Structure 1
Amino acid sequence: MLNADRHNLIIDLLKRRGSVKLKDLTELADSSESTIRRDLAELEENGLLKRVHGGAILTQARTIEMSMVEKSVKNVREKKDIAKLAASLVKDGDCIYLDAGSTTFEMIDFLIGRDVTVVTNGLMHVEELVSLDLNAYILGGKMKAKTKAVIGGIAMENIANYRFDKAFIGANGIHLNDGYTTPDMEEALLKRKAAELADETFVLADNSKMHHSHFAKMFDLEEATLITDYINVEEKEIWMKKIDIMEAEK
């Protein structure tokens, strides 16, 4: 395979997955590990990706955020699997916080028929919860048109009135040094407050969020349990707390 063809293959995979593994690239490109490493180095020099241990991630601006519609069509199967596992942790009688986001939204179908009380800052979430006859409250405040999330000072005041058995929170970036991050500072503050008000906090994120870091920090890795679909084998032991659906199904 020519250099240009390999480069196009790598970038195409990154656009679809958000991250790629060195092992997968060597197999797909039918090339040696040293060749792929050189390709990744060249692409990184051109600002097209960032190399990480065992592969590469797509570079992106720290303040850019996809809309709810854009998020909802990415990694759908992985999000549903993560959501199903997260919902299995909810007990009848629980009061939970469901953060606005595409992966937390997928939890709702798995809560049907359950005796739970849900507080959310997601407009799409509360509409779905109510339509399915689930007991739901929505925070008041400023509505983000792009993500349908309620944020701001009023939302911070509202959420202080609740206490949660569990909080399920989405993240745009997960980084060993930077912790859990998101592009919007106001949204990060609300996520942090929800975690403080919960007995247990879970972050729901598919593997495309790994190694990314965005503008606003939510909290450190050890402050929540990560529920994800897959973590590189070499990295599994360095995450503070996690539930991997591949391990949970064994």
Structure 2
Amino acid sequence: MLNMERHKIIMGLLKRKGTVKLKELMEVSSSSESTIRRDLAELEDLGALKRVHGGAILSQARTIEMSMVEKSVRNVQEKKRIARLAASLIMDGDCVFLDAGSTTFEVIECLVGRDITVVTNGLMHVEELVSMDLNAYILGGKMKAKTKAVIGGIALDNIMNYRFDKAFIGANGVHIVDGYTTPDMEEALLKRKAMELSDECFIVADSSKLHQSHFAKMFNLEAAVWITDAVDEEEKRSIMKKTSIMEVSV
């Protein structure tokens, strides 16, 4: 296979999944490990990706964020499995904060018939919650057109009226040093406040977010339990020195 063809395959997988493993690239391109490592090094030099342990992640500007529609079509099955595990932690009678994200949105369909109260800053989320006859509140404030998330000072003031048994929060980046991050500072502040107002806090984010670090820090890894899909065993041991991980079963 030509060098250009392999590069096209690598970037196609990265754009679809956000992260790829070295073994996966070797299989789909029928190439040796040394060849794929050389391809990754070349693409990293071009700024197209970032090499990490056992594979690569897509390079993104720290302040750029995908729209809700773009997020919703990536790693769909992983998000659904994560959502089912997250929903299983919610008990009847709980007061829950559900962050405005594509993975947290998947949690909602797992809550049919539950006796719970949900507070959210997601416009799409509250519409779905109400359509399912769940007790739901939405924060007031500034609406982000791209992600349909409510943020800003009014939202921060508004959330202070609540206390939560559990918070389920999305993250754009999960980093061993930088912690949980997101591109938007105002949104990061709201996520941090939701964590502080909750008895238990869970990050719901698929493993493609690992090694990613964005502009605004939400909080440290130890402040929440990370619910995710399969993580490399060596990386898991490193992360679990700082926080707990709940992995979904395949």
Q: Deviations over 1:29-77 (max 9, x none)?
A: 2222122111111111111111111111110111111111221122211
Q: Given the alignment of the two structures, is residue 241 of structure 1 paired with residue 244 of structure 2, yes or no?
A: yes
Partner of 1:193: 193
Aligned residues: 247
Describe the SS at the equivalent of 2:147.
Answer: coil
Identity of aligned residues (%): 74
Cα shift at 1:3: 1.6
Q: Which moved more, 1:168-177 or 1:24-33?
A: 24-33
Cα shift at 1:234: 2.5
Cα shift at 1:96: 0.5
Partner of 2:80: 80
Partner of 1:221: 221
Cα root mean square deviation, aligned: 1.1
**C-alpha distance in structure 2 between counterparts of 1:230 and 1:40, whole Å:** 22
Partner of 1:173: 173
Cα shift at 1:127: 1.0
Pairwise mapping of residues 1-250 of structure 1 onto structure 2 (< 5 A)?
1-239=1-239, 240-246=243-249
User: Gaps spanning 5+ residues in structure 1: where?
Assistant: none
**C-alpha distance in structure 1 between counterparts of 2:58 and 2:69, whole Å:** 20
Cα shift at 1:28: 1.9
Describe the SS at the equivalent of 1:106.
Answer: helix
Cα shift at 1:233: 2.8
**C-alpha distance in structure 2 between counterparts of 1:231 and 1:212, whole Å:** 14
TM-score (norm 2): 0.96
Describe the SS at the equivalent of 1:56.
Answer: strand
Describe the SS at the equivalent of 2:74.
Answer: coil
**C-alpha distance in structure 1 between counterparts of 2:68 and 2:28, whole Å:** 32
User: Gaps spanning 5+ residues in structure 2: where?
Assistant: none
Cα shift at 1:201: 0.3
Q: Which moved more, 1:80-89 or 1:62-71?
A: 62-71
Describe the SS at the equivalent of 2:124.
Answer: helix
**C-alpha distance in structure 1 between counterparts of 2:197 and 2:108, whole Å:** 21
Cα shift at 1:147: 0.8
**Aligned letter for 1:29?**
S
TM-score (norm 1): 0.96
**C-alpha distance in structure 2 between counterparts of 1:199 and 1:154, whole Å:** 23
**Aligned letter for 2:88?**
S
